[in-house]
Amino acid sequence: MKKTAPLIIHAKTLISDSKALSDRWVVIEGDIITEVSKKRLRASHSGIVTPAFVDPHSHIGMFRAGEPGAESEGNEILSQIQPLHDPVRSVYYDDRAFSDAVDFGVLYSCIMPGSGNLFGGRSKVIRNFARHVGECQLHDYGYKMALGYNPRSTGAWKGDRPNTRMGIYALLEKYFDEVLLRERRAITARERKKNELSRKKLSKTERSQELLLIEREFHNEFSAEDHATLEILHGGRPVKIHVHKEDDVVYLLHLVSKYGLTVSAEHTGDVFNQEIFEMLRDADIPVVYGPLGSHAYKVELRNSNYQTAQKLMRSGVVFGLMTDHPVIHASLLRDSLRYFLIYGMAAAEALHLISQVNASLVGVGDRLGSVTPGKLASVLVWDRDPLHLSAMPQVVVAEGRLRHIR
C-alpha cells in the first residue's frame, strides 16, 4: 500500500501551552502530530496555528437548531435518578450547530443530559466534525448530576419530585446511603461464603470455580443503576455537577466530604464571593465556568455577571470555560474569553484555557489541547490574531483530515 505523504503546516506563530513561538513546522502523519520542528520544510498551509478548541459542557445535538423545544432530547422526565442514560443516543448530526462549531474551531464537546434531574446520566466527549453518531464518541468521561433550582423545578415531571432543596438533597443522600448499605450487606455475605469455602476440601480447580461463582453472585446483587452509582461513590468515575448558587456550592462540598466523590463544579454562575471559589480550590474541585454572556433567565442567576471572571482568576481555582450550548452557541466559546482578557489574562493563556485546560477537565488532555508530538492532529490555522473579532480559522484539521479550507 502506498504511504500517504505527511501533512505539513508552517506555523508563522504557534500558540500552544500558554506560549507563542515563531516559525515552527508541524508535521502530521495519519491522525497524529509526529513532529514540531524549527527545521524549514515544504508546507501546504501557513499561518498562525493553535490547537482545536474543546467545549467541556454542552448539549449540542440534543437541543437542536430549528426544532421546537418540545422536540428536544436534553432531559428525560421519567425519574430523578437515572445514571444509565447515554446522551449520544439523543444526538442528531443534522443539527447545523455542529458545522457552525467546527467553522469556529470548536471540534469537540463534552455532552450530557440537561439538569432537570438529580442524576441525569453519562457525560461523553464527542467529535463535532463526525458524520453520524457511530463515529462521534471520543471518550466516555463520567456522569452528570445537578443541584439547586433545576431538579427542584420539575414537579410536573414523573417520579418522586420534591419541590425544595431540602427535599431533593434528602432524596439524593437517601439513595446513596441505600446503595452503600446494600453493598455492605453483599460484602458481608460474600466474605461469609469465602470463609465457608476455605473450610472445604476442594481441588484447586474446584476452589477457583466456587470463588468465581461467589463473585458472580456478588455482582448480581446490584442493578445496572447500582453499579453506575457505586462507580462514583468509590471515586472511580468523575461527576460533572450542575451548581449555581453559593449555598448549593457549599452543599456540594458536603457531598464530596461525605461520599468521597470526584467532581467538577459546573456553571457556578451565581457565585459572587471569591471565598467560595477559594473553598473549591482548597478542596481540589475544578470549576467549569459559564456560560458567559447569556441572559440571567432564572433566579439562581441573579448575581451572575461578567465581573466574576476576575474573581475566578484571583481565587487560584482550576477552571475551564463552557458554552452550555444552546444557552450560548457552541461557536461562541472563544468569544467568552474577552471577559478574562479584560481582566489581564494573556492571549496565549486565554487560548490555552479553551484548548488544553478544557481538554484536561474532560479527561482528554493526553490526546488533545496542544500542538505536541504524539497528540491527535486537531489544529487550526488562522490568517490573523485568533482573538480578533473577525478571526475565523482558514484551515481546520480534525484528527489529520482537512475539514475545510477557506
Q: What is the pTM of this model?
A: 0.96
Burial of 52 (0-12, 13-18, 19+ CB in 10 A): buried
**pLDDT band of 121, cuts 50, 70, 90:** very high
What does the alpha-carbon distance between residue 345 and residue 338 come to, in Å, rounded to a whole number?
A: 9
Distance separating alpha carbons of residues 111 and 87, to the nearest angstrom:
7
Burial of 303 (0-12, 13-18, 19+ CB in 10 A): middle
- pLDDT for 171-222, tens place per residue? 999 999 999 999 999 999 999 999 999 999 999 999 999 999 999 999 999 9
Gap between the Cα atoms of 283 and 267, Å rounded: 17
pLDDT per residue as tens digits for the range 15-24: 999 999 999 9
* Neighbour-count burial for 111-121, b at 16+ CB within 10 Å, e otherwise: bbbbbbbbbbb
CB 193, CB 211: distance < 8 Å: no
pLDDT recorded at residue 2: 60
Whether the predicted pLDDT of 1 surpasses 70: no
Please report which helix (H) or strand (E) contains residue 276, including its range: helix 274-282
Q: Are 186 and 223 in contact (CB under 8 A)?
A: no
The DSSP 8-state label assigned to residue 5 in this structure reads: P
What is the pLDDT, as a whole number, of residue 228? 97
Q: Which domains does the chain have, with CATH numbers?
A: 1-51+366-406 (2.30.40.10), 52-155+230-365 (3.20.20.140), 170-223 (no CATH)
- E runs forming strands in 134-269: 137-146, 239-243, 263-267
What band does 297 get if pLDDT is binned at 50, 70 and 90? Answer: confident
Contact 249, 279 (CB under 8 A): yes
CA distances from 279 to 228, 301, 330, 353, 360 (A): 28, 20, 29, 21, 21
